[in-house]
Amino acid sequence: MRWIDGLEAAAAEKLPEPVHRYFRQGSAGGISVGEATAAWNAYRFRPRVLTDVSTVDISTTVLGTPVDGPVLVAPTTLQRQADPGGEAAMAAGVAAANSVIGISSNAGTTFADIGAAGAPWWLQIYVVKNRDVTLRMLDAAVAAGARAVVLTADTPVVGRKEDDGPTIWEVIQPGHLLANLDEGEYAVEDLGKADNLTPDVIGWLAERTGLPVLVKGVLRGDDAKRCADAGAAGIIVSNHGGRQLDGAIPTARALPEVAEALAGTPTEIYVDGGIRRGEHVLTALALGARAVFVGRPALWALTVDSSAGVTRLLTDLGEELTHAMRLVGSPTIADLTPDLITR
């Protein structure tokens, strides 16, 4: 069995059951979370033959930052429940793999400590009802060296979870959430998600931070175009790991429409959701993604072996991608084109 395939089971042995359930669960009936990986498995390859693949190069850039491979770590919350080092340990593992990490605005580790781990990082932000809280978070991230802002756009309200036992909120340890907001400077109601956002918020974020803005949670080509027209530097095709609207289309199926809508534009396209193999990464790149994000696998790897586990996850997926590219007849990422893929 692949090491990656055993990660969740190994993590489950170390995590309190409510934490494991929170990390793995989707919303409502679990349809979207259950379909994610199967949607990538539904694609088939049309390999080229008699091409020179003696040397394969999987290095690329993401928003101008060089990375050794096109596998990045998605923003996830409550990482200190997985490892005492939390986001700093995750970032150290990412740095060793020369990749990029997304950091949740709910992070339980200060942005300064995350930045000190050495990985280039992008801030994932929820715009909340109290914009002053959002502004304080943005300013702190910029001061600590964030290189981009990832606007989560699919959460006007939080998706319904159907817990059947003690929830994570009953076992979470103090200090594992919102380490970058000073206690006493906000009320719980200030943190409610803003439900009145329009594409204008993209320019507002860019102006405030001076950073490129990506929009995460896009599943439609017309929405991707609206975001790009409003100034988004990147789109992340995502259904929030199946944790928001249950029954939302798998990202593997949404990606081609988004890529078609943004063809010929400088807007970079990323995708997450259910990616577990190098072959899935290859499919995503051929369909138009510049790179992919992995979320739950990184949490399992962090739980099992801290920073070293995260590095191994990214390295193993990169090696699988290299192997698949040899077999599909594409020595560089630029050679990965839609004609290699069919459903």
State the catalytic residues.
240
DSSP per-residue letters across 95-135: HHTT--EEEETT-SS-HHHHHHT---EEEEEPPBSSHHHHH
How many whole angstroms separate alpha carbon 244 and alpha carbon 110? 27
Residues near 268 by Cβ (< 8 Å), separated by ≥ 6? 62, 63, 214, 233, 234, 235, 290
Distance of alpha carbon 61 from alpha carbon 119, whole angstroms? 14
Would the CA dihedral through 159, 314, 124, 178 be positive or negative? positive
Q: Give the tokens for residue 170.
A: 């009953």
In the beta sheet, which residues pair with residue 60? 67
Q: At what angle do helices 200-209 and 131-143 cross, to 10 degrees?
A: 40
Dihedral pair phi/psi, residue 4, rounded to 5°: -60, -40
Residue with tokens 């929405």: 223
240: phi then psi, degrees, rounded to nearest 5: 65, 35
